[in-house]
Amino acid sequence: MSDLAVSDGAPDAPLLEVKDLKVHLRVADRLVRAVDGVDFKVDTAECVGVVGESGSGKSTLIRAISRLMPNLQVDELSGELRFEGRDILRMADRELRTLRRSRGFAMIFQDPLGYLNPTQRVGRQIAEALSPDGRGRSEHRRVLDLLDEVGFADPGAIARRYPHELSGGMRQRVMIAIALASDPKLLFADEPTTALDATVQLQVLETLYRLHKERNMAVAIITHDLGVVAELCDRVYVMQAGKFVENATAVDLFERPQHPYSARLVELSAHRLDFRGMQQ
């Protein structure tokens, strides 16, 4: 825990702290308040979920926090964004890159096929996250270790594959390996299982959970699937139309939802779980 002493925030300050974040987008000449004054925090080694229906602003939120917004459509981006006490909203590019390269935050995405370069071998894409131009022996060894860590039985063979030669679940594992390369303290996961088959979803979630525990890595996971939250998360934010309507522990959310919208989400997911049960 010597890391905490190094950081310039207070010892018990959260790993990530977001205050009054506003992201207003300009979409076809219309102003969209995608994120409208949101307070959000993630503690060290905590797993936080953000749930809400499509279009509620979850993805924009996580893109804005991880500073991966496309610049073009952003009309306003304001608020306070602190990672280990450092202001990442106004951070210089160089400093931000250093943070991404080592012990900062990383991200995985909903559609791993689109987010992997189709013309490069998987191993090279992981090596690039270790060192931008490095393709040396030590990088190769680390690549194999990472592939092993995300659950591949034969890392050497996988490293030589191209993304289109892998299944959806394997691609998402590769994405996770890329994210782990910088040894992040916080992993953002944007709908990591939505594009996958039901059985594969569970495997990927188990992998994420294991890494979260083994590495003491905080995870902020975005999903519209409350089942995912139930599996993984300590705490949950419920998002509706750019605002958080509820912030509760996962247990509280399922047993005592406070906001009618949360209650409705829980009820619907319970129906769906029942339905799944009936099918089996």
Partner 1 sequence: MLRFILQRALYALPLIFVIIVVMFTLLHLIPGDPVQSLVGDYPVPPAYRAVIEEKYRLNDPFVVQVGNYVVAVLHGDFGFSYQNQRPVLDLILERAPRTILLASVGFAFAIPLGMAIGVVAGTTRNPGTDKFWTTSALIAYAIPTFWLGQLLVMLFALRFGWFPTQGIGPLISRAHGFDWLLEKARYLALPVLAFAIHEGMRFARIMRASVIDTLSQGYIVTARAKGLSRGQIIRNHILRNSSLPLVTIAGYSFGSALGGAVLLETVFTWPGLGLLMVDSIRLRDNLTVIGVVIFSALAVIVMNLIVDILYALLDPRIRTAG
CA dist., res. 118 & res. 7, Å (int): 38
Given the complex with partner 1, which of 111 and 252 has the nearer CB atom? 111
Which positions lie near partner 1, rule CB under 8 A? 66, 68, 71, 93, 96-101, 104, 106-107, 109, 111, 114-119, 125, 128-129, 132-133, 162, 164-165, 175, 178-179, 181-182
Given the complex with partner 1, which of 48 and 99 has the nearer CB atom? 99
Q: How far is the CB of 179 from partner 1 (least distance, A)?
A: 8
Q: How far is the CB of 274 from partner 1 (least distance, A)?
A: 35
Q: How far is the CB of 111 from partner 1 (least distance, A)?
A: 6
Given the complex with partner 1, which of 93 and 214 has the nearer CB atom? 93
**Coil, helix or strand for 276?**
helix
The answer to whether 184 and 164 are in contact (CB under 8 A) is no
Q: How far is the CB of 120 from partner 1 (least distance, A)?
A: 8
Q: How far is the CB of 221 from partner 1 (least distance, A)?
A: 16
Nearest to 245 by CA among 31, 63, 37: 37
Q: Is 278 exposed, middle or buried (0-12, 13-18, 19+ CB in 10 A)?
A: exposed
Given the complex with partner 1, which of 68 and 251 has the nearer CB atom? 68
For helices 198-214 and 168-180, the axis angle rounded to 10 degrees is 20
Determine the distance from the C-alpha atom of residue 40 to the mean position of all C-alpha atoms in its chain, rounded to a whole number.
14
Given the complex with partner 1, which of 149 and 190 has the nearer CB atom? 190
The answer to whether 178 and 125 are in contact (CB under 8 A) is yes
Given the complex with partner 1, which of 175 and 250 has the nearer CB atom? 175
Given the complex with partner 1, which of 71 and 280 has the nearer CB atom? 71
What are the Cα distances from residue 48, in Å, to 1, 87, 155, 174? 21, 21, 30, 22
Give the chain's largest Cα–Cα span: 56
Q: How far is the CB of 68 from partner 1 (least distance, A)?
A: 6
Q: How far is the CB of 98 from partner 1 (least distance, A)?
A: 7
CA dist., res. 176 & res. 170, Å (int): 10
